[in-house]
Amino acid sequence: MPIELVIFDCDGVLIESERIAVEIDVAMLAEIGWELSREEVIERFMGRAYAHMLAEIEGFLGQPVPAEWVARWDETFQARLATELEPVDGVSETLDALHAAGYRTCVASSSNHASLERNLTATDLHDRLAGRIFSASEVTHGKPAPDLFLHAADRIGVAPERCVVVEDSRYGVAAARAAGMPVFAYTGGGMTPVATLEALGATVFAEMRDLPGLIAAL
């Protein structure tokens, strides 16, 4: 069936935020005694909701995560985003090309709505996606469950079999596959290993401007 809707993850796919978050995770987890490498942080947390990470930290500590630590993590993240956040290279042109080709687009992200609105506005992407931005806070189960992608398709009014997903994490790819949607995994950010994404059934690509051609080739 012809593709009608392209569902984008946000962090690492539309905006270059994943590297910043992972660097902060590594440093601040070490402060509380959890020594994880960059690769381990990506494996455990990338693509999952922030609440999932906090639950994992609580399990490691055996007690609630200190409120001061949570507040400082958020302050550090927001401060770095204010000076370092950029859109993924070529994503504006890609969105415009998809629209010109007749595809509909939306965002389905593990981030909360406040973060999505703020970060998409800061990178001049919000107007291209306004009214079609969905958060895991709207569903019972976040990625790797299929709920968020199915919710986005339902809200836009497109059958799941007419959707494709653009992701960059193992959990996002797994969610798309569980939803029965073909998934393209963007590797230009150099985060999740290509072999991991391919093993989960994703078509990998490293240049965002190639996406319209890849979708058309389906």
What domains are defined for the chain? 5-16+86-216 (3.40.50.1000), 18-84 (1.10.150.240)
What does each C-alpha distance from 147 to 35, 126, 196 come to in angstroms? 32, 23, 22
The rounded distance, in Å, linking the Cα atoms of 107 and 74 is: 22
Strand partners, 155: none
User: What's the pLDDT at 140?
Assistant: 95
pLDDT, mean of each 10-residue run, the chain (218 residues): 95 96 97 96 93 95 96 96 97 98 98 96 98 97 97 98 97 98 96 96 98 96
User: What's the pLDDT at 218?
Assistant: 87
End-to-end CA gap in the chain: 9
Provide CB contacts within 8 A for 17, sequence distance 6+. Answer: 10, 11, 81, 85, 119
- Rounded to two decimals, the pTM is 0.94
User: What's the pLDDT at 173?
Assistant: 98
